[in-house]
Structure formats: C-alpha cells, structure tokens
Amino acid sequence: MALKAGDPAPDFALEDQHGKTVKLSDFRGKKVVLYFFPRADTPGCTTQACSLRDSREAIDTGGATVIGISPDKPTAQAKFDDKYGLGFPLLSDPDHAVADAYGAWGERSMYGKKYMGIIRSAFVIDEQGAIVESFYKVSPKDTVPKALAALD
C-alpha cells in the first residue's frame, strides 16, 4: 500500500547502528526525512546517503532530521556510518515489517530475475507524524532535491 500526503506515518521502533532503539514518535515536533535503501555500502545507497549527509545544513534549515532504514544488521549499518561519516540514524529492519508498512517492500527485478526487496523510497513527515510527500522508486541522486522541495 503506497502512502500519500496526509496519511499518518506508521510508527516504528527499530535498532540503530549504535544498538539504540529509535522510534518515529521520538521525533514528534520535528520534520523527518525518512528513506529506505536496499543495502549499506553499495554504490547507489552510498550516493544517496552521502548526498543526504552533504545536504545536512539545508535539511536542518528546513527543520528536519534524516533517518535511513534498510534490512541490514546494525553492525553493517555502523560500518557504513563510520566509513562515510553519515552522522544520522541508520535503522535495521531485518524482517522488513516497517518497509512493508510504508509500501517500500515489494517485487523488484534485476537482469530479468524477479525477487522481493526494498523499493528505494523517501518520505517527508511533518511535526505531527503525517506524510507530507512520498517518493517511491526514487533515484539516489533525486532524493535530496525532492525532499528539500517538500520541506519548503
């Protein structure tokens, strides 16, 4: 099920790269740029994450914080964060329950083979926890421009 503007953002409680449980409700009163990525430290995911890191000032100016979610284990997330100095929560969703709730888990194909996996997606969530904008099948390079436009 795809989420759209005005829908409540599904709450979650997931472990971050430091072993801390992070809940969406912890960010009430602040906007959130939430993005789902397939796998830490792969080319597209690195491009996307580093773009978000490099745009931190503009995202902060928009009153938002960044959270990334993938099926990776917290140890893989920690290595990814350390390697690129990302500095924002990377959450582990190994059973893809949160990705499912956001409509970011589904059928994908690569080289003609179909499989289930993360559909690269991004969401801007307002201070009350409602979806402002959703971007499904977003390109790694388009995540920041689209998120910043939604924050304006």
List, by residue number, the catalytic residues.
45
CB 9 within 8 A of CB 123: yes
CB 126 within 8 A of CB 49: no
Q: Give CA–CA dist 59/88, Å, rounded.
A: 12
CB 22 within 8 A of CB 32: no
CA 144 to chain centre: 11
Taking alpha carbons only, the member of 139, 112, 111, 110 closest to residue 43 is 139
Which residue type does 133 have?
A: E
Q: Give CA–CA dist 143/152, Å, rounded.
A: 15
